[in-house]
Amino acid sequence: MANSEELTLKIEGMHCAGCVSVIEKGVDKLNGVDSCNVNLAIHSATIEFDSEITSEKIIQTIEELGYKATIGRPDILAANEKERKKTKADFILSFVLALPLMVIAMSPMFFGHIIFGELYNAITQAVLAGIVIFYSGKSIIKDAFLQTRYFRANMNSLIAMGSLSAYFWSLYVLYKIMNGKTDMLYFESGAMIITLILLGRFLEAKSKGKAGEAIEALLKLTPSKAMAVINGVEIEIDTSVVKEGMTLLVRPGERIPADGKLTENNPFIDESMLTGESMPVEKKESDSVYGGSLNGTIPFKMIVTASGDKTFLASIIRLVSDAQSKKAPVQKLADRVSSVFVPIVLGIALITAACWYFFAPNDPMFIRSVISVLIIACPCSLGLATPTAILAGTGRAAKEGIIIRGGDILEKVTKVDSIIFDKTGTLTHGELEIAFLKSFGEKSDTEFLTIVASAEKQSEHPVANAIVKHAENNKVEFVTIQNIESLPGAGLKGDYDGRKLLIGNKHLMDQENIDISTAEKFAEDQMDKGRTIVYAALENRVIGVIALADKIRSEAKEVIGNLRKIIKEVTMLSGDSRKTACGVARSIGLENFEAEVRPDQKQMIVESLQKAGYTIAMVGDGINDAPALAKADVGIAIGTGTDIAIESSDIVLVQTELYSVEKLFVLSKQTLRVIKQNLFWAFIYNILAIPVAAGLFYPIFGITLSPMLAAAAMSFSSLFVVSNSLRLNKLEL
């Protein structure tokens, strides 16, 4: 869509998958709306729309559907805490009143006679049950009537119909008692239905709070105070007023208030909550430090580069929150079923009532079965099956420094059958170092290094930086090289002591007709080890060769081996020569690789594999790999999460170790498995429970469900789904 915008809303008043379906269908009908995704677990909606419609119109539509919508990201922690307190208070009051109600209702069973006499007994039950249903359960009853007003039905409709049927039938019996007749009372059933539902909701609220622990832990990382250094004076200020360019002092044991650059001392900093790396990292002057990290025992000063919602920590929190508001495709099945489920249940309840009325109108099952069907069939567990698993799965990933942009990405990862790794900075550390140096002719190794390093000192190329760094470490005294000219993709040339100097790759030597035969054997041996070769020639004669190694990550071979067991195709892309790339591939156990690949060709390779039928995951450093990351079915940026990595990729691996890639596939597979378990339980539970509740087996086997057992079973179903999802928090990766 042209000029597409995204709107995130906080939604109040949702209770089940039916509510989700109502909002999504209502908003999707609006002209200009591209998509609407509603998340029950965190009470939010994400809407994509264009200039044909305004955000005000979208909000108005949602409110016309009977819900409250406000612009902004949902505060998951605050919402969960508010929900927990409310459901706890409602449950405690209902439990305190339902307990004596049950004793009074069951008094003939306990004491052999009715307490207070039959009339006062019934009146007392009516009062207690009325407070439970209409006060403790007022939100349920209110929402049910709201749904009726808009000619809809949801989970609360079923609960309200069940509890109110029991209550008003019992009021009718009370009227009969006042006129000298008698019948069975169901006041305690109506009250216990509400009490058990409130218990289930309280336990769900507690569980959902646990599912958001990852975000809570991240939010707690930012300290409330910071020590600013202004004109040499140390002043304590609120972290909220920290601005870019300020100088801060971070004392031993304190958390860093913002992102910045180190200006003083070499502290060891614990970045485990951001990267998953357990060992503290030593920082040097000009190194980056991140807000939320924990300082060790050495105080240091820093210049702030980002604060508030612009920090790396804030971006992680946003990504995790966004991920938990996006649906996995597997939820579409649950949404479709839920949208028609409530009307079907109401139909079943009517059929149940009609059957008992015609075949056994005087049997207590006439009332009990209808109430039980309405209660047992509530689709709450269906609505929670997917979002709670995504909430827990993405939260667990965040603890490992794996930031997943949405539940849909989790499902895509499980379908990947081809994974592509960029070599430099991904399979390797991305920092060249001299591994081999050999001089030829009249120059010694030291003289050869002096000449080459002196020339390369005037270049910014990574190869040049590695050579200069090696020379400085060996305390080489640089000499003057004149007329330096850079030759892109080949090397450089200049004049040394009045003679022509060439430094570069084999292509440059061939182009200048330089005989490299004396150095070729050494070069080939080094290329077989995956190293990059630099030749140097003076007056058309080779004076030496340098081999540079981009150190392969220690875990690369193990991770590649494990991935090859679960993924059909594993490929490496490299801009190096074929011989160098072959050496790296062989050393990490890879057969498939592409060499001499330019950055713009990586996207083409991804496209060609997709056309061959593969589902592609691309792993890169998020800089020159951006087009390929964006084109892949799943783009995975490994590193510290630069802006371009976050924009181009679906997943950001904060920790640079490749183990995170392996953990991602394990976690995604397990999360999808939990979602399927949840959906299976929710479906099979309703399929098996409704016939029992309707009394289908009662005439033959005497098997049925009382309304109270139905309410308990319904609450257990929802609690089971949430608890099953929470197992992901303890998954070993």
Q: Which residues are annotated as catalytic?
A: 422
Give the other-Cβ count within 10 Å of 145's Cβ.
11
Contact 616, 633 (CB under 8 A): yes
DSSP state of 255: B
Contact 403, 316 (CB under 8 A): yes
With beta carbons less than 8 A apart as the criterion, state whether 105 and 188 touch.
Answer: yes
Beta carbons of 398 and 218 less than 8 angstroms apart: yes
* Bridge partners for 39 per DSSP: 44
3-state class (DSSP) for residue 91? helix
Distance CA(79)–CA(40), nearest Å, equals 12
Q: How are the residues of the chain apportioned to helix, strand and coil, as percentages rounded to the nearest 5?
A: 55, 20, 25
Strand (E) positions, 459-540? Answer: 482-487, 491-496, 499-504, 532-538
Per the listing, tokens 């950001």 go with 652
Query: Is the distance from CB of 217 to CB of 294 less than 8 angstroms?
Result: no
* Amino acid making up residue 388: T
**Tokens standing for 200?**
């289930």
Tokens read off for 503:
């430094």
Is 579:524 a contact under the CB 8 Å cutoff? yes
Under 8 Å CB-to-CB from 344, ≥6 apart: which residues? none
Q: Convert 506-567 into a string of H (helix), E (strand) and C (coil).
A: HHHHHHCCCECHHHHHHHHHHHCCCCEEEEEEECCEEEEEEEEEEEECCCHHHHHHHHHHHC
Say if CB 79 and CB 43 are below 8 A apart.
yes
Within 10 A of 77 (CB to CB), how many other CB atoms are there?
15
Alpha-carbon span 498 to 479, nearest angstrom? 13
- Closest among 381, 380, 330 to 724, alpha carbons compared: 381
What is the tally of helices (H) and strands (E) in the chain?
A: 27, 26
DSSP string, 635-650: EEEESS--HHHHHH-S
Which residues, in sequence order, are bridge partners of residue 504?
A: 491, 535
Q: Please classify residue 552 by burial: count the beta carbons closer than 10 Å to its beta carbon, then call 0-12 exposed, 13-18 middle and 19+ buried.
A: middle
DSSP 531: -
Look at residue 457 and give its three-state secondary structure: coil
Specify the pairing of strand 499-504 against strand 428-439.
unpaired
Structure tokens at 195: 């009490």
575-600 per-residue burial string, b: 16 or more CB within 10 A, e: under 16: bbbebbbbbbbeebebeebbbebebe
The closest of 244, 390, 224, 268 to 320, measured between CA atoms, is 390
Residue keyed to tokens 């394990």: 666
CA distance 401 to 652: 8
Q: What is the C-alpha to C-alpha distance for residues 622 and 631, in angstroms, rounded to an integer?
A: 13
